[in-house]
Each structure stands twice: as C-alpha cells, then as structure tokens.
Structure 1
C-alpha cells in the first residue's frame, strides 16, 4: 500500500448519500460518546464521455497528472468513472469501492480542506479477501486536517468497467488521548477495543469468529498519515473499522495495530490470545494462520518509529511464545514456503508494508532478529550496546553515552580503575547517557555497558567493549567575570588554578554557548578583541594542557558583557579623500527576500516548528499537498548529446517507442548509451552504444524531436567523463524544430527533485525543523517554476536553485524531504514564489508578492551566523573602475533607505560623488558592483 498525489480533469457526477454500512444506521457511537459516521456516494460511469479539456482551478500549477505537458507524460486514457468536486459532510477518511469488473483500475481522490482542493492522490487497489469476499476497494486515505469535499477519478488501461462504484467518507468523531495505562494488564500492554471506540459486531461471521492456528505473522503498514496526533489515533482505528465494514467484512481486518508511539491496539474481535481469522492479507492461508499486525503510517520512504518497532517485536514475540512458534525458519501458506515473519508483499502483489518497513522486517538486526532474541531462553536478547563514550564531567565524575538498543529499558555500567574490571562499581540508567560520580580527580577509569531486565538483575545482552575516561585534574576556574568592554573587545578575569599553564576561554552570542569561538591565555585574565559592537557576548573558561590541549577542568560558570556602540558611528555619508579603500559595514547575505536560511536555523534551535518558520517568512500562505514531475536542465552537460552508463533495466523512450536496452549487443558488452544528433541531418537524432572504445548506432534508429533514457536511477556522463546519478528520466531535449544540439533535462518527481536541492542549499547537519522548512520552500519554488509551454522548467544552478540529483543527496536532508512529502505553500490558489537567501541580517526585504513582506527577524542574530553583521573593505579603484564617468571618487552618500531595521534599513539610493560628476545607483547595484554581501550597509 502506498500513496501518490496527482491532479486531474473534472467531469459530471450524481450524488447518492446515506447508504448504510452494516444495517440501516451508518452512525457508530464510540466509547467517548462521539459518533463515527460513514457516508457512501455513487460514482457514475463516464463511458463514451470525452473530456473537453482541463478547466482552470485553484492551484493549477502543480495539479496536472504525472509529468508536465510537453514532457512526454500525462494521462492518455479517459476516465471510466468520475465524481466531480462534490461537497460532503466533514470527514477524515475516504476510500473507493466497487463490485464486479475493473481488474486494473487506477483510482485517484482529491479532497477539499478550508476551501482549498488538494492535489489528487492515487489510492492503491487492495487485494480481495478470498473468504470474506465483499466489495473491491482501494486503500483508504486519511486526512489529518479533515475535509468537506471529494473529487474521484477512475481510469482503466484495459477499458474493463467497474460496477456500482461508491466513495465512502468517514467522520470518526472526536478523540480523547488514549493512554497505555488504561489497557489490559496482559503483556505487552494492549489497548482494548472498547477503549478505542470499536463498533460492536453483529454479523455471524464475527459474532462467531473463525479460528486457525498461529504459524507466523504478517506485517503491514496502513498507509496514510505519519503525522497524526495522539488524539487522532483512536479515530483512525474507528475509521478503518467503518471502511472495512463498508466492504462487506464483519469487522476491521487486522488482528492488531500499533501507532507511532508504540501503543498496541486490539483489532478484530475474538480474543487477543487466539488465532482469529482476519481479513488483512487477501489470502486464506495468511489470514487464517498468521497474526496480522499493522503499523499505522506509511513506511515507503521513512523507517517505522523506534517505539513502533519495539512494540511490534514485543507483540509478535508474545504471540509466538503462546503458540510455541520460532521466529526463524519457514512454513507453508497457500502452497508457498515463506518465513515465519513476513511482509504483506510476500504473499500479495503490494507495496505493503512499504519499502523501509519491509527492510526492517527482513534485515539483519531487524524484526526477525528482535523477535528471535526475545524468544530464546538462556541466551541474550540483544547484542551489546555500541558507541560507548566516557568523557570527564568533573573532578569526581564521568559522563557516559552510548547508542540506543531497540526496546531496552535498563542499562548497567561497570566502572573500574583496572582494565581487568576488578573492584568495580555499578550504575543503572534508563536512558542512553548519564553521569557517574564518587570518583577520584585526574584518574583514568575503565567503563563498559550492558542491557539488564528493568525489574530483575537479568543480563539481556553481553558487556560492551571497555573504554577509558579520565576525570578532570582541577575544578572549574571560579569567579569568571567581564571587567570592561569597548566597541570591539571584552576584558576578562577569573580565579587562578595552582599549577595551570593554559586557560581557554569560550565565547558565544547565546547563553547556551552554541557555535562558539575560542581564545587561549597563559594567565587568569585577558582581552578578546575584534568582535562586533553593540552585541552581548557570553564567556566561560577552562584549564587545558599546555602541550596536548587536553581539557583538565570543567568550564566555569558563564559570564556576559555587551560591547558598546562603534566608536565611529555608522553613517550615511563617507568622505573618501586620499584613502585607498572604503570600509562598508552591513547586515545579511543575499537579497534578503523571503526565508532567511540562518534565521530558519536560529528558529529551529529555539524549538520552532517548520510550519511556524514558514509562516513567519511567507505570511498569508498556507500548506497544501501537490505532486508533479518537473524538468530540470542539467547545465553542466553541454556537449550537445546525452550519454548514460549502461545498466540493467535501462529503457529508451521516444514517442510511442519503449525499448528496454540490452547490456550486450551481438555478444559485445555495452558500457554506455548516447542520444546524439544524426550525422546526416543534425535536426534528427540517433541512438548509439559504446562497446570497448567504439561507438555504434543501435538498430538504425533515427527520429525527430526529443527522447528519454528511463530507469529508477541512471548515471549521466558529463563532458570530461565525470558521472552524476539522477532519477526517473534523462531527456535529450530538442528545444525547437531547427535545433542541431541536444540539451539534457532530468524529468523527475518533485519530491525527488527536492532531495537533490536541499542538501545543496542547506547543510545536512542543521536542525531538523530548519531542513524541513527548506524542503517545503525548495519544493514550492520548483512547483511554481513549472512552465508546460517551455522545453524545461528550471535550471540546476544558483540562477534558479542548486540541484545535484541523487549524487547530492544526504540521509538527513532526504529524511526532511520525506517527512514533508508533497507539502508546498499556496497563496490565492497558486504556488507561492518562495524566495530565500542566506541571511536577512535581522529584517527581511520586501519582495514582489504580497506574502514576501519585510518582517523583523531576530532568529537571524545568533553566534553561528557570521553574516548577520559584517565589515568589508572595498578598494577605491574598484568603485572607480565600475563607474569611470565619476572620475576620482570623493564621497559616498546614502540618500534613501527602505526603513526596515537598524541604520534605517537597506539602501535604496546611493550617490557616488566624483571629481567629474555624481552618479546615483541603487543599493542592489552597489552590492553587485562592489562585491558586498547585501544591499544593507553603511560606513
């Protein structure tokens, strides 16, 4: 099960509401006293109806299916059934069902929230249950924010028509938080059906459950939201039950469900310790003989949360222990030999439980290993903890840290002065770090760590390897103080430590000492110079070894002092005279419009969420979901052809042609493929391959127009031989009918494009919320750049957004992109122009859109941002060479500013007064001509 957002055209519809699910009354009263409501609406067939085109709609950019027009993508098939945009009662879940026909349907759903229509999401068709039967159906769509309108479109490549098509919309009612402490006392803790508001079952099939025997477990993901709140979890379960019952099933299909906080929920009625036949897998064997466990969320591009993984392992181990089933080995289901613990995809053609979810089930150290260790009596449940570090925390203490062991609740550290670990002390921890005290100063200790049972002193892992840590020689220097300040310096003093030969002072602009710099002193006082005026600095001191630089004491307490205003005030006019250079003093880096990247960093450090960061820098915009393909011009590939390395599964696409390219031709190994101008007529193209050092033409293919190489990933060969990896398609584009060169364009999904941008535009080590804000801004900027009438949408340099394909990606930035999948900023129904720059300097610049306002930006002012305030000398000759008509430069005079921030804000008008004439230029002109960091400056 997976979700893909697309956008579609609109046709007519008829509405039939209020059809019952499990009797005449579709309303379900939950244990919280709220009603869970399901409504079904018929979707009319549109056979023989030909759409006349795609109407205008809010958010038209980013709402056409697949690739942009003119890219070779799009949807060539007319819909066989469609429900136009239709108002509904409020809902959080929607799904589509039908009876006979429609063996290869593609179902897309859009919803309305707060007056805005989402992009279309493709809902995977779920496997039919081979015992309970019921209606054919898609996976359901969960909408965190809720909706009040639906638009459904169904296509069928084979033309096979579905029958009795309906869309089900479900309102789960309001939830209260469910706490695991209210659950049954069985181990592990499981939240009963009554606690999450399950509807009592009445049909014979569930009132008299069918039982099998436990032979294994099938792991699913539900697909849908990964960002639901704790308060929404029970509503999701009630919605799933209502949706499954609308299919004709007697109850929810899964035996158990686990949310992202690791809370386990009882699923299908019939007994938690019994092998109740479910309807989760689509096969009789898996439904009857395996426990169906569904992780609540979509785990295609992100791993299941740690809490979810631990809870699933506990649950499966508990159920296997009841049945005496091993975690390892195989058994037979429906005539097929499978592992004891499988993913849904092992028995049905489905994405479930998602690519990352399935990797966790099957990998070394994953679910199978975790369950195996929980089941093995007399052996360790886990491997030894890794990554142990022991660092000094004081003269009598060490700070320990190590990597988390999935599911562990208690760690025990052993500490000794001997490498043999004799005469040890023991310390218990519930987290992966802590401080051990009662030690001796300036002494080396040996430390190792293991996992123990949280209630008994039973070792659940072996000891880790031992590491060494040495306590500090001296206590922290006392009485750290700021004695005086000037505009560019602070003078400090502190108590001396007998025997100390080197002190190191740490200085930062925030009290948490983030992103500090350092100064060394040989005595217990000193002055730090060359710092910024009118700035509060925070300082602390430690003793270090004079040769090895090892830290010999803790840091002192933090003191602070504020530098005075600059002795030479920043002014709007500077007489140059005989000086050879002019010093500019300014704020910020870049145009300053929209989001400040350093400001996003500062906001994220303060705990601000990405949504709030974006709301600050783009006020008046709103988050929405959009999905498109974007065409990125690869500017470095400038030799007039498009060449890729050969690989298995590589396809060549041109017009109606689709050829899977071989890795050998006539017994010759192919190393490269290339689309290039045809030698006899360079307005045409041909396909060639390389074997050894020789290029040969493949099948005498010659054509007009563009063509693509396609594969999940491909290596593009640049001039000079360097390769860069890209996803989806690499197009040899012919910009116009008379073009004789081919230009390489990467046709890629907007999310994949964003992965190649974020890692280039923002350091991957930055805070998560800053990376998420950057991901949404970059995705939106790409979306608003899409221009179907052009031959490409966006370039890959700083002129647009820097993009490096797969080769540029980083795990941290990819996680930020995945967690914000398809999320963009919209304004007045269109993608926002989400400009951003490195640093605002403390106040953003006014842009050309109503949401690109000048706003105060204190987040930008933190110690790590060296561009918040700057000073830069520019040679007088540089200024004169850029504007030679002025003669000899006499005076620089700022005559107008924008009024936002210190000094009166950014420069709007600057006069260059020379010996021959005076020239007036803008601050932006000055920035580029003189090489300044921004147009916010004075002297």
Structure 2
C-alpha cells in the first residue's frame, strides 16, 4: 500500500544552524594504581547508543519545533502523520490534554529528522529527535539524544571550551556519571533531566566545540562508580579552598562526596564581596523590620552557613544558608556578614540600626564533588583527568558502560 505523506506548510524559517559539524551494565573497571589516582585501562568493548531524555521546554502552552532536514512527524503509536520540510518552523500547542501541530492532533507527537539532521526546540538547535507530549501545565518538549552527543554540549555549557583538555575530560566523566545516575533514579516518566543548573546545563549545538567533542570521545562510556553503582557526580564552580562533606550541605550521606582540599585559588570567585544597604536587605528579608544583625547559628566545618538567625527591630527569623543565598543572590553559602553602624550619639538610638551590610565570601556553588576551577588548576599543573576525578570523588572508581 502506498502511503501519501501530507507536508505541513512552515510558518517561517528557522534560525541558521551554528555547529561544528535502557538497560545498563558496568564492565571493565579501571584499576587504580598508586596514591595519585593513575588508572590502567582494561580491554573495553564498543559502546552502543544510549539515549537521554532532556526536557527543553516544560509545561508551556506552545513551543516552536522544526528540523534542519526533511523530517517525519509521527504520533505516539508510530503512525506517520506528515512530512516537515527542512528549516520550516512549526508551532506545537496544548489542546485539551493533547498536542496539536498545524492541523494534526495526537496524544503525543514525534519529530524525526532524516539523515544527520538536527531538531529545533524553542530557540535552539539540538542533535537527536523531539517528543512533544501533554503534561500537567500544558505541553513539554523533550529532546531524545545519544548520551555521548548530549555530553558534547554539556561539557561546553558547564566549562569554558578553551580550558585544558584534561579538565574537560574530567568534566565529561562527571557529567556522564551524573546524567546516568539521574536516568536511573529520577523516576520521572517524561524525562531524565532538564537543561538548567537544577540538573546540568545543556544548550544544544551552540555550546559544542572541537575540544568538548574530543574530551567526550577520549572518555567514551567512562563513569564513576562506588561499590558497583554509578555515583551522583555533582560538581560546582569553586569551593573557596576546601570542598564539603555532602551531609553537611544536603541531608543524605554519600561516601564519595567528602571534604578535600581544592586548588581553586586562581578562580575569580575564590573571594568576593557584596554590599547591601539597610533598605536593600530589609526588602529582601521580610518580617523582621529593620535588620540589626545576622548571626550564624550552625555552620559546616569549612564555614558554610547551615542556618542564620536574622535579628530585626520587629522580630527574628531563622533562614537556611540556601534561603539566604537565594534571597541575596550570593555565589555560595560560605560567607561572613559585617554591619556598618551609624554614629550612635548622632541618632540617639540605644540599639543602632546598621546603615549597610558587607558580605565577604568565597567560592561559587554548593562546594560538593568536582571543583571546576580546581580541575583547571590540576590540569594546568600536568595532572590527568583520572587523577582529577580521583581527588574530588573519594573512593570512586572508573568503569565503562555498555548497553545490553
């Protein structure tokens, strides 16, 4: 039977492409040698393709989709609905718990490019294919993309592409491990990870570079494991001199996320200062009136704020370090606050209200796992990616995955 394909007329042309071009098993543990984390690689089999499901647009009313080559539009059962012409922009919309593209409506809609085509979602180009499906807040567009190709972008989005190759390779191993950990544990029926800092940043083709592709290829399939399981290989920009034990920052203990010396002293965020006027602080921390002092109640061994007591002339509040970081838009929770007091004699106040507050801090991020600036420094000093990940993930081993 000959099937006639109905082409969908594009509403407009998509933006030009800028580019350089479920079951897992762990095999072949990389054997640690010596105290610095050198690794001898055992025989490795070929790595089969494995797709990540990345949410690009979540719970929206509509999203622009398309393909760089001619593409097929399918419904959830695999039935072909139409052909999409290359570079034509289409708008997928939410329609009563279903998805509508042009005159086609289905429970979910796939965009599958021909050949080596790319897909367009929202305002960026991606490798792989697209699934648009209804979710609680409207529709969600998910990029199904090969794990290794996904990492081409993640490494470039999370770390400057001009940094030493060994640092980029350490980032690739960490990001691959984190992605697969989320894939195995998230329990989300729609996607494995998102594309923001709430997971790890993924920006499609625009963040790929020859250096990120090389870093991914030269570590293909390598992940970090502890007691045979892929670890939650979180990472951050800079710790401010020392990373943290995970239970001091979050709630769950992880034997591989331990406090270690960081080598981030050359990071521009190693030390930083922010100053807030009394009015600015009162606007960002409400419910206590004019703020008189901020007093640390609990801190980690490295000095990160766990809880802070905020004392005002109209009340007192206790905030977590993360709540305070978000309220003040600070780089980390590793900081001290110093008030600037007015001339008490001139105001006549027995308890003076500070005129401003100076926040002096160190580092950027939660301080757990791999420090990106520390990795850069270690690589600059001649250490390889195996030594870098061995330093930041205590007791973890490298392994290679294959798909069964």
Count, aligned residues: 299
Equivalent of 2:205 in 803, 806, 810:
806
Summarize deviations over 1:706-745 as a string: whole Å, max 9, x none: 4333343324163xxx5x2211211122337xx8x43211
Aligned partner of 2:275 among 873, 883, 893: 873
- Once the two structures are superposed, residues 848-898 of structure 1 have per-residue CA deviations (whole angstroms, 9 ceiling, x without a partner) of 342353423241112xx1211222212222322233332222233223321
What's 1:931 paired with?
A: 329
1:732 aligns with 2:135: no
**Partner residue, 1:757:** 154
1:771 aligns with 2:168: yes
Do the aligned residues in 2 keep the contact of 1:764 with 1:771 (CA within 8 Å)?
A: yes
Deviations 1:170-198 (A, max 9, x none): xxxxxxxxxxxxxxxxxxxxxxxxxxxxx
1:775 partner SS: helix
Conserved 8 A contact 2:30-2:42: no
1:886 corresponds in structure 2 to 288
Structure (1 or 2) with the greater helix fraction: 2
Going from structure 1 to structure 2, the CA distance change for 1:639 and 1:646 (only over 3 Å counts) comes to farther
Structure 1 residue 760, shift from structure 2 partner: 0.9
Spell out the pairing of 1:110-509 with structure 2 (5 A cutoff): 111=27, 113=29, 144-146=41-43
CA deviation after TM superposition for structure 1 residue 638, in Å? 4.2
For the Cα contact (< 8 Å) 1:710–1:729, is it kept in 2? yes
Q: What is the correspondence of 1:798-837 to structure 2 with a 5 Å cutoff?
A: 798-837=197-236
Please say if residues 68 and 117 of structure 2, whose CA atoms lie closer than 8 Å, have aligned partners that are also in contact: no
Residues in 2 aligned to 1:927 and 1:662: alpha-carbon distance in whole angstroms: 46
Distance change in 2, residues 1:882/1:642 (3 Å): closer
Say which SS state the counterpart of residue 935 (structure 1) adopts.
Answer: coil
In structure 1, C-alpha distance between the alignment counterparts of 2:326 and 2:109, rounded to whole Å: 38
CA deviation profile, 1:59-114 (whole Å, cap 9, x unmatched):
xxx6359xxxxxxxxxxxxxxxxxxxxxxxxxxxxxxxxxxxxxxxxxxxx85658
Kept after mapping to 2: 8 A contact 1:642/1:731: no
| Partner of residue 111, structure 2 | 708
In the aligned structure 1, how far is the partner of 2:81 from the partner of 2:220? 31
Q: 1:844 to 1:627 in 2, by over 3 A?
A: farther
Residue 859, structure 1, aligned to residue 263, structure 2:
yes
1:785 alignment partner, one of 169, 172, 182 = 182
Question: TM-score scaled to structure 1, two decimals?
Answer: 0.29
Distance 1:758 1:908, change over 3 A: same
Distance 1:813 1:111, change over 3 A: closer
* 2:83 alignment counterpart: 661
The answer to whether the Cα contact below 8 Å between 1:631 and 1:793 also exists between their aligned partners in 2 is: yes
1:554-573 correspondence to structure 2 within 5 Å:
none
Deviation at 1:907, TM superposition (A): 2.0
Counterparts of 1:883 and 1:637 in 2: how far apart (Å)?
A: 30
Contact 1:780 / 1:832 at 8 angstroms: preserved in 2? yes
Cα distance change of structure 1 residues 114 and 768 upon mapping to structure 2, 3 Å threshold = closer
SS in 2 for 1:913: strand
Unmatched tracts of structure 2, length 5 or more = 1-21, 32-39, 247-251, 339-404
SS state at 2:263 partner: helix
Say yes or no: does 1:651 pair with 2:72.
yes
- Taking the aligned partners of 2:59 and 2:306, their CA distance within structure 1 comes to 39
1:906 aligned to 281, 304, 312, which one? 304
| Structure 1 unmatched runs, 5+ | 1-61, 66-109, 116-142, 147-223, 226-297, 299-624, 664-669, 689-696
Contact residue 907 and residue 935 of structure 1 kept, 8 A = yes
CA distance 1:817–1:931, change in 2 (3 Å) = same
Q: Once superposed, what is the RMSD of the aligned Cα atoms?
A: 3.3
For residues 258 and 276 of structure 2, what CA distance do their matches in structure 1 show?
Answer: 28
* 1:397-430 deviation per Cα after TM superposition (whole angstroms, max 9, x unaligned): xxxxxxxxxxxxxxxxxxxxxxxxxxxxxxxxxx
3-state SS of paired residue (2:42): strand
Of 40, 48, 51, the residue aligned with 1:629 is 51
Are residue 796 (structure 1) and residue 195 (structure 2) matched? yes
Q: Deviations over 1:242-298 (max 9, x none)?
A: xxxxxxxxxxxxxxxxxxxxxxxxxxxxxxxxxxxxxxxxxxxxxxxxxxxxxxxx9
CA contact (8 A) 1:646 1:673 kept: no
Shift in alpha-carbon separation, 1:662–1:920, aligned structure 2, 3 A:
closer
What secondary structure, in the 3-state scheme, does the structure 1 residue paired with 2:294 have?
A: strand
User: Separation in 2 of the partners of 1:703 and 1:922?
Assistant: 45
SS where residue 154 of structure 2 aligns?
Answer: helix
| 2:135 match: secondary structure | coil
Q: Report the TM-score, using the length of structure 2 for normalisation.
A: 0.64
Q: 1:846 to 1:808 in 2, by over 3 A?
A: same
Distance 1:714 1:853, change over 3 A: closer
For 1:756, what is the secondary structure of its paired residue?
helix
| Aligned counterpart, 2:346 | none
Larger RCO (CA within 8 A; separation ≥ 6): 2
